[in-house]
Amino acid sequence: MKTRAKMLAVGIAILALFLGAGAGALHLYMRFANNTQGEMFDGAGHVDLAYCALIFLTTFIPTFGIVIVCGFVVMLPLLFSPRKDV
Amino acid sequence: MSRFVFFETPREALRAAVPLRADLAAIQMEWALLKLALKYCPDQPRVPAGNRDGGQWTDTAWARVAANNMPGAVVTDAAPKSRDATLGLSAPGRDKARRALVLQGGGGDFYVAPNPNANPNAPWYADPSKSLVGSYNDGILFAAEQENVDPDLIRSIMYVETTQGHYFGAGDLLDSVGLSKTILPMNIYASRWAELGTREDLSNPFTNILAGTKILKGIEANLSAPDVAIVGTLYNALDATKVSDYGARIAAVYKEKPWQ
């Protein structure tokens, strides 16, 4: 793989991680802000960490996947471009 | 009929006394819990700053002494009288006790303090286009008539839940795979309100609205003076002791009726 493409792939992966984490954190923030009928806490009044992880991943995974797929589509022309690495 | 019972042997008398001792222990425990509940009130005044005991909990008796003996001392108003025995419990305990009273349909007197600082404005992520009030109007009217609850109160709850609880589609995703704890349109916490229906039952919008309406009716039945902000606050968090932003938002939506 060309060096330029490698750097782009790493950049896209970092971007996907940031956007995914941001989306997950935003989802968690909204859930805690609403906290409907105490859904974010367990019966003893402690934060339900398993549910928090689920909430986070529900938005992290799709966002991460979308950014990776879009990034790959953007990378395709670069992978097959005739320009050589410097 | 004689008031006295005679026993043949002392052992027989002791055996007969066992259930009485158990009853006495239960009464003593109940009395201790009641005394604990009566001791606590969230609005109990504190000694004003600048005094020797500044910040300490106080009562009206202290306030009278302060007024008499300390010139210039500020005497705070006495706490409002409340018969809410759940105030003495921890938040999870209060939630559990109040839930039982809501399901029972009365028997309690929930106290929720007013809160002028509660924010009635919609959060930035609220999306009015996500409202489901129009779609479920028939179900709302049926449930309101069935349970004798104000239909606009049901609409207000549903409006806030659907416009603020969309999570940009993530809420629907979790609902569809059966992993979310709460289910729209009334956003019922399925396992917490299992008495009102199974998760499958509550996934049906019609049953969901009816269950939400039953909760609202149960809350109203436990309030001496039902107020929209207080009912909304308790719908969102049964352990609440003062009006929340959510309750203030419900009151604002109830007044504005944005679904019209």
Q: How far apart are CA B61 and CA B51, in angstroms?
A: 16
- Contacts made by residues A83-86, CB under 8 angstroms, sequence distance 24+: A85/A2, A85/A3, A85/A4
Q: B174 and A37 in contact by Cβ < 8 A?
A: no
Chain Cα centroid distance, residue B16:
42
**Angle formed at CA B243 by CA B238 and CA B244, multiple of 5 degrees:** 80
> Which helix H or strand E contains B182, and what residues bound it?
strand B182-183
Q: Count the Cβ atoms, other than its own, within 10 Å of residue B112.
A: 24
- Contacting residues of A for B181, CB less than 8 Å apart: 39, 51
Residue of B nearest to A30 (CA): B167
Residue B45 has a pLDDT of 53
Q: How far apart are CA A71 and CA B203, in angstroms?
A: 37
Residue of B nearest to A35 (CA): B236
Q: What is the 3-class SS of B68-111, one letter each residue?
A: HHCCCCCCCCCCCCCCCHHHHCCHHHHHHHHHHHHHHCCCCCCC
Whether residue B118 is predicted with pLDDT greater than 80 in this model: the reply is yes
Is A22 touching B (CB cutoff 8 A)?
A: no
Whether residue B1 is predicted with pLDDT greater than 50 in this model: the reply is no
**Closest Cβ opposite residue A45 in set B92, B161, B193:** B92
User: Do B13 and B7 form a contact (C-beta atoms < 8 A)?
Assistant: yes
Residue B170 has a pLDDT of 80
Q: A58 and B161 in contact by Cβ < 8 A?
A: no
Task: Return the amino acid letter for B21.
Answer: R
Q: B182 and A39 in contact by Cβ < 8 A?
A: yes
Residue A45 has a pLDDT of 81
Q: How far apart are CA B247 and CA B227, in angstroms?
A: 10
Per-residue tokens: B243: 């009006």
- Contacting residues of B for A54, CB less than 8 Å apart: 174, 179
Alpha carbon of A85: minimum distance to chain B alpha carbons (Å) = 42
Is A59 touching B (CB cutoff 8 A)?
A: yes
| A61 — pLDDT class (breaks 50, 70, 90) | very high
User: Do B38 and B88 form a contact (C-beta atoms < 8 A)?
Assistant: yes
- Which one, of B56, B73, B55, lies nearest residue B65 by Cα? B73
- Contacting residues of A for B182, CB less than 8 Å apart: 36-37, 39
Q: What does the pLDDT average to over B141-166?
A: 93
Q: B239 and A38 in contact by Cβ < 8 A?
A: yes
Q: How far apart are CA B12 and CA B35, in angstroms?
A: 35
Q: A36 and B179 in contact by Cβ < 8 A?
A: no
Each residue's pLDDT tens digit, B185-208: 998 998 889 999 898 899 899 999
Is A46 touching B (CB cutoff 8 A)?
A: no
- Contacting residues of B for A33, CB less than 8 Å apart: 123
Whether residue B33 is predicted with pLDDT greater than 50 in this model: the reply is yes
Q: How far apart are CA B251 and CA B192, in angstroms?
A: 25
Q: How far apart are CA A65 and CA B4, in angstroms?
A: 82
Alpha carbon of A39: minimum distance to chain B alpha carbons (Å) = 6
Asked if residue B185 has a cis previous peptide bond (ω within 30° of 0), the answer is yes
Q: How far apart are CA A63 and CA A66, in angstroms?
A: 5
Cβ-proximal residues to B205 (8 Å cutoff; 6+ apart), any chain = B132, B136, B139, B185
Q: What does the pLDDT average to over A58-84?
A: 84
- Which one, of B246, B240, B245, B243, lies nearest residue B230 by Cα? B243
Model ipTM over 0.85 = no
Residues 8-67 of B with CB under 8 A from A: none
Residue A69 has a pLDDT of 93
Cβ neighbourhood burial of B76 (10 Å; 0-12, 13-18, 19+): middle
| B234 — pLDDT class (breaks 50, 70, 90) | very high
Q: Which of B181, B186, B241 to mutate to test the interface with A (most CBs of A within 10 A)?
A: B181
Alpha carbon of B162: minimum distance to chain A alpha carbons (Å) = 11
**Closest Cβ opposite residue B189 in set A27, A30, A39:** A39
